[in-house]
A = this chain, B = another copy of it.
Amino acid sequence: MSDSPLSQSRILVIGAGAIGSFYGAALQAQGANVSVVCRSEYDIVRSAGFSIESNRLGDRTFVPAQTLRSVTDYAGGPPDYLIVSVKVVEGTDRVALIRDAVGPETVIVLIENGVEIEGEIADAFPDNELISALAFVQVSRIAPGKVRHYAFGDLTFGNYPSGVTDRARKLAAMFEKSGIKITLADNVVTARWQKCLWNAVFNPASVMGGVLDTDDMLNAEEGESFVRRAMREVCDVAAATGHPLPPQLIDQYIDGTRKAPPYKTSMALDYENGRPMETEIILGNAVRAGRREKVAIPLLETLYALMKMVERKTAKATKQE
């Protein structure tokens, strides 16, 4: 990567759904050269760009520098930053998706959910700098090429496996100028486990019995007690992998969830809308880490087995359509 100011950086977004286009637009607004790979909505984005509605950041149209069907069409040499914001569901091969766009100096930036999602990319591209980012944002695709930003927008990121490089700081500065609050994490893996502590419990539980909202889950007889015990298992796994979590975090999450009006998790919304769920990166990776580290996680194991049953059922239903 050149030492040019980031405003001249070449940025390629792979997986330009709601998340990818939202953050890509923010960077382009600061002058970066932002291109996108989008497959299903290629035609409409190519002709009109993305229309992004946001009360907080203002409505805008984001016309990418290059709109591509495939990374192999990307012109002008490898990108400085390759932002990967594909939803990781059953069958997603991220390495194959990005391989052709990774140059020797390309910084790979993962803006994705879940835990232990970096190892596969780090192994495939050992000489590239890797930034791991967690998005705290409520943003949805509301129509082809149309994205609505409802709330938040903050990113927490740092380099994988740890530290914060100058290139990460440059990226942070650019986001900050756009009004996106950035928390730089010296240990982003710990930050992932912190987010996972809520997600790995509430997300799968919310898919059981139709879909459940946070009130159903916390206020049912046995509900809070179960949530706490399952969260303790996540803490045990995180600690075993070298990422102990603050002991008060469970209380904080439960209090925070109670204080918010009842709501549905992202997995519940995916399930309701017939979309694939991020079971593997949110829960499966935590379960695999627990097994690898020989931590007893019977509650998480149960949630995971039930999720695989649900996914088997939805996969059959999809095949029949």
A residues in contact (CB < 8 Å) with B: 205, 207-210, 212-213, 215-217, 219-223, 225-226, 229-230, 271, 298-299, 301-314, 316
Contact = CB atoms under 8 A, between A and B. Distances in A.
A296 B301 CA distance: 15
A4 to B, nearest CB: 48
A221 B307 CA distance: 10
A311 B220 contact: yes
Closest 9 CB pairs of A and B: A209-B310, A226-B305, A298-B298, A302-B302, A220-B312, A222-B305, A220-B309, A220-B308, A208-B208
B310 A226 contact: no
A172 to B, nearest CB: 39
How often does this chain occur in the complex, in copies?
2
A276 to B, nearest CB: 14
Contacts of A314: 209
Nearest to A314: B209
Nearest to A313: B216
A205 B306 contact: yes
Given A208-B306, A216-B312, A216-B316, 18 more contacts: A209-B306, A209-B310, A212-B309, A212-B313, A213-B313, A216-B309, A216-B313, A219-B312, A220-B305, A221-B312, A222-B301, A222-B308, A223-B305, A223-B308, A223-B309, A223-B312, A298-B298, A302-B302
Contact of A302 (B219, B303, B307): B303
A301 B226 contact: yes
A297 to B, nearest CB: 9
A46 B68 CA distance: 75
A229 B298 CA distance: 10
A256 B193 CA distance: 41
6 contacts: A210-B313, A217-B309, A220-B311, A222-B301, A222-B304, A222-B309
A223 B307 CA distance: 10
A209 B213 CA distance: 14
B302 A298 contact: yes
A208 B309 contact: yes
A153 to B, nearest CB: 31
Most buried by B among A208, A223, A226, A316: A208
Contact of A309 (B209, B299, B309, B311): B209
Contacts of A221: 308, 312
A210 B217 CA distance: 16
Contacts of A302: 226, 230, 298-299, 302-303
A30 B22 CA distance: 76
Given A222-B305, A223-B305, A302-B303, A271 B209 contact: yes
Contacts of A298: 298-299, 302
